[in-house]
Amino acid sequence: MPGGLQWMKEQAELNSGVKQEETTQVGDLYNRIGEPAFRKLSVIFYDKVYSDEEWFKDIFKGKDKESAIQNQCEFFMQRMGGPSLYSDRKGNQTLISRHKGWRVDKPAAERWLSLMTQSLEDIGDDIDPESKEVMLKFFKHTAYLLVAAKEVMHSNKPEAEKTDVVKPGGKDIILAKDPSA
């Protein structure tokens, strides 16, 4: 039965195969990797997201790509030991609440992780292999923490409200696609 934060962390560990403690290793990556590589990674990732036929196409339709890149790259830099550009600009809301309106289930997490894994490959030597491994562990754990958080939110909702919109205000595109169906 979905529970609180402890339950979410256990689920994240179970589904990602990454222990919570391992995610702290990202803390010094900013100094190792540097800002240009972070930005490049987010550009490569969102190029894939925006041309993704399988999952993300409908979710990001009409959303500004530059802002998505900036949000992600500033968040990653801050989370990995860099300046607080992200929270200075956007406040301290958690990643969980920032994903509230979006459908984040296991297939979504797998797709997100698959595109990010490909992006880390595409970036080549701009990020060293060990840093890539540490980043990927953090991404996996976080993706499944978001999935678990969503399950908790849904378990507290009446049946009729369990579907997330894929775009704000997009009543007609509720669950545009369900790859698990």
Q: How far is the CB of 135 from ligand HEM (least distance, A)?
A: 9
Give whichever of 15 and 122 is closer to ligand HEM, judged by the CB atom.
15
- Beta carbon of residue 150, minimum distance to ligand HEM (angstroms, whole number): 9
Spatial contact of 72 and 46, defined as CB atoms under 8 Å apart: yes
> Comparing C-alpha atoms, which of 53, 52, 51, 45 is closest to residue 71?
45
- The smaller minimum CB distance to ligand HEM, of residues 25 and 158, is found at 25
**Shortest distance (Å) from residue 47 CB to ligand HEM:** 15
Q: Rule CB under 6 A: which residues touch ligand HEM?
A: 59, 63, 67-68, 71-72, 75, 90, 95, 98-99, 102, 104, 108-109, 112, 139, 142-143, 146
Other beta carbons less than 10 A from residue 55's beta carbon: 19
Contact 176, 166 (CB under 8 A): yes
Residue 43 or 68: the one with the smaller Cβ distance to ligand HEM is 68
Q: Which residue has the tokens 């205000």?
A: 169
